A = this chain, B = another copy of it.
Amino acid sequence: MRVELLTVGDELLLGDTVNGNAAWLGRRLADHGVEVTRSVVVGDDLEVIVAAVEAALGRADAVITTGGLGPTSDDLTRDALAAAAGVPLVRDPELEARLRARTARAGRELRPMALRMADVPKGAGLLANSAGSAPGLRVELPGGVVYALPGVPFEMHTIMDEVVLPELARTAGLPAVARRTLRTARLWESVVATRLAEVEAMDGVRLAYLPGPAEVRIRITVAGPDAAGRLAGVEARVRDLLGDAVYGAEDETLDRVVHRLLAERGATVAAAESLTGGLLGAELTEMPGSSATFAGGMVTYATEAKHRLLGVPAELLAAHGAVHPDVAAAMAAGVRDALGATYGLAVTGVAGPEPQDGRPVGTVYAAVAGPGDSRTVAGPRLPVPGPGRETRGVIRRMTVVHALELLRRVLLGLDAGEESEEAQADREDRD
């Protein structure tokens, strides 16, 4: 089955909006084994939309449009589809009643123009929109079928997942699909891909790697009969191959995992930071309700503050400078005590662009101080990204991930996660 995408809107041609809808649709359809063969953007021009729909159906079996279904005069997708089908627009009484009820509930009057959203090409099917006011449309044309979806992303996603994909699965015999995303920290994308080669070779399994600073998400898609059942087996195999580097699944971010582990233990954490300047605390407070397990933090950017506020021994700072594993350990213990937390988590390092205390850019140490003892990890020197990237920002972000992963491993009683040989070799290849 071949599908073309048609995105409608002047704002896309002008570049005021980036075409995220087309990317989302492409990904979703690819996961279901549907090939998107072309993606076209046109402006708010009736004749151009009609011609684009007809040309697309000359090549593909179905066209999915987004945009142009709103209430204003430049929303022309309805009119274009009616013209392409050679039918008039008719007002749908049920849609009109729903629009009137919705505005009445909000205590407003319905603007006459908004009634345009109740107009549909005669004979078109309505695609229920549980996320908004205007439904999508299904219009059968001589060359194939057009699914017209709104441009608002979460409405478009909802109609696609709830209506269009199930319908395509029925009518075009698309295979059943099951999906799962696993999250790993501190593994290189190339290491993940090498370890998962055997999974990638499995029939009906598609792996996508979504890398971020010091993290890789792995999206597993299984298509075919008993997709859901097979997915469970594939996920188990992926977890076997990646081991304890898998920290979570779906939208369970590393900070959420750490909060959960702390909550399960009735524990709290406090953060001491230098190069990250507050990013670690910001990450630990991103989640609603984080105050139950986050006690607070100190940003000791100046070396002197590490001594005065966190009690890092002056001799240690004098001997090694601020970027040293023992300094990280002392910071962790200091912030734990200063904020009365169960755990202290600390980072110190060089974000660049200049070296500091003789340490090169990307040297980062993290440490965790537990309830009684203090456990430190001598972080590997982080790889410095190439030119054209925001080196400093990436190092700071990687540092946050390394620190949270260290805390996770300590909470779970895992080894501290030294750099593996294969990761080291991979890093050296890139250097």
Contact = CB atoms under 8 A, between A and B. Distances in A.
Contacts of A277: 278, 281-286, 290, 294, 297
A270 to B, nearest CB: 9
A424 B354 CA distance: 45
How many copies are assembled?
2
A26 interface: yes
Interface residues of A, number: 66
Interface in A60-91: none
B23 A12 contact: yes
Max chain B C-beta neighbours (<10 A), residue from A12, A16, A278: A278
A40 interface: yes
A352 interface: yes
A279 B281 CA distance: 8
A396 to B, nearest CB: 8
Contact of A23 (B19, B30, B352, B392): B19
Contacts of A276: 278, 282, 285
Interface in A248-304: 271, 273, 275-286, 288, 290-291, 294-302
A12 B19 CA distance: 10
Interface in A21-43: 22-28, 30, 36-43
Contact of A39 (B12, B281, B338, B396): B12
Contact of A43 (B19, B28, B37, B396): B37
